[in-house]
Amino acid sequence: MKKVIDRRLELGGDKPEFYEIFARRSSAEALTHIGSIEAPNAELAEARAWFVYDHEPWKEMCIVPTSAIIPITERGSDVKVKVV
Amino acid sequence: MAQVALARDTRDEPNEVALQTRVKAGGTLEDISEMTPRYRDVLVATMSIAADLEIMTLPLDLDAMQFAPCIGDRIAVASALQDEMGHAQVMFRMLEEFGFDAYERVFERDPATFKTFFMLEWNLKDPIDMAMSHLIGDQAGYITTCDLEEHCSFGPYSRSLRKVNFEEQFHVKRGEYSVRHYMQLGPEVRKRVQESLDFWFPLGAEWFGATDDVKSRMDQLHYKIRGSSNDQLRQIWLSRVVPFCEQLGLKVPAHFDGEKGIYVLDFEMPILFNEETGKWDFRKVTWAEKLAQWKRGGSKKVPGLRRIQSELWGHDLW
C-alpha cells in the first residue's frame, strides 16, 4: 500500500519552499550560513533545521525564507544563495 | 597525481579541456552555469548515489534500534540514524538545485532503481553486526566522503560534507568502541564477532569499486569531483581497519606487505558472496559476474526501501 501523504500539509503544495539556516557557535563567531532546507511552513522549517543541523550546540540559530534574500553578487543567477 | 591527467577523448572539446585544466589547477565551481553538460552529469551521478546511500541506512539500521542491548546503545544507533537522515536532507536539497524533486526521488521512485551499494543491502542479525557495520561500513563511507570534502571541485558539495564528516567520525568511533567491548566478553562472543567480520570485511573492500586496472570511467578524477582513485581509497581503508582488527586478535584476509610498503588483500578481487551459505567464496571471478551480483542487490534493498515508501505515518505525525 502506498503511503497517504497530505501534500499541502507536508509538502506545502506543489512548489517547494526553501529556507536558509544561519548559526553561530559562540558570541565571538560571525553568524554563518550553514545550510538550507525545504519545508512547507516556518514551523516545520524550524523543526527540520534543528533535526538536520544538530551537530553543534548553537549559541544562536535562525532561519530566513530563501524568497526574502536579495542577491547582490549573484544578481541574475538562477541560484539566490549557495546551498552551504 | 596521474589520475587527474586530462581525459583523452576531450581533445576536440575546448570547453571540457578548459574546465578540466581549471579544476586541476585547484579552481572550484560554485554554480551550475559554470558547468559543461558532462561535468554536470558526473557530479549529479555522484551526488545521487551519495543521497541514495544515506537513505538506505534507515531500513538497514532500523532493526538495530529494536534489538539494541541497552538504552545507551539504542540512543547511539538512533542518533547515528538521525545523522544519516540529516545527510540525506542535505544531499537531496543540493540535488533540488539541479532540478530533482526530492519527494519523488525518495517516495515515488521504483526502489530497484535506487543506486545503493551491496554493503548496505543485508539484514543486520544482532548488535555485533551493527557494531561491525559502523566499524567497517561507516569507515569506508567516511573515507569516501573525506576525499570528496577535500578534493571536490564543486564548492557547495565539498562544504556540505564538513558537517557530514564531522558526524561520520562519531559512527566509526562508536563501531571501534563497541567491537572492542564485544571482544572482551569471552570466547563465544569473540567467535561471533569474527563471524560478523568475515561477512563484513569483503563488503568493505569492494565498497570502493573495481580495481584501478579495470575501471574505465575516470571522469570523476578528470573533473576532480574526487581526488583519489578506487585503489587509493581502498588502501586508506585497509590501513585503518587491518591493524585495528589485528590488534584485537581478529583475523582479516589482508596483511601489510613489507616489500611493497602497502596493505594487500589475501584474495584477488572480485569475489562473490554466496547467498545460500551466507559466506564469501574467495575464488576470483570475472568483473561481469561481480557486476551482475551487485546489480541483483542484497535481500534488504527493495523490501527495505519499499517499507519507507509504504509505511503509514498517520495524519497527526506533526
pLDDT confidence band for B3 (50 / 70 / 90) = very low
Beta-carbon separation of B312 and A1 below 8 A: yes
Beta-carbon separation of B33 and A78 below 8 A: yes
**Is B236 a domain residue?**
yes
B110 touches chain A (CB under 8 A): no
Residues of B within 8 A of A6 (CB-CB) are 315
Kindly report the CATH number assigned to the domain that includes residue B93: 1.20.1260.10
pTM of the model: 0.89
**Is B9 a domain residue?**
no
Nearest CB to B93; choose among A2, A9, A36? A36
- Homologous superfamily of domain range A7-68: Phenylacetic acid degradation B (3.10.20.520)
pLDDT confidence band for B14 (50 / 70 / 90) = confident
Domain ranges, ordered by start, for chain A: 7-68
From B188, B199, B181, select the one nearest B136 (Cα to Cα). Answer: B199
**Is B189 a domain residue?**
yes
**pLDDT (tens digit, 9 = 90+) per residue, B224-245?**
999 999 999 999 999 999 999 9
Q: Which three cell numbers stand for residue A12?
A: 506545502
Q: What is the DSSP letter of A67?
A: G
**pLDDT (tens digit, 9 = 90+) per residue, B164-187?**
999 999 999 999 999 999 999 999
Q: Give me the number of domains chain B comprises.
A: 1
Nearest CB to B97; choose among A1, A9, A79? A79
Residue B225's domain comprises 36-307
**Is B312 a domain residue?**
no
- Cα–Cα distance measured from residue B204 to residue B118, given in angstroms and rounded to the nearest whole number: 9
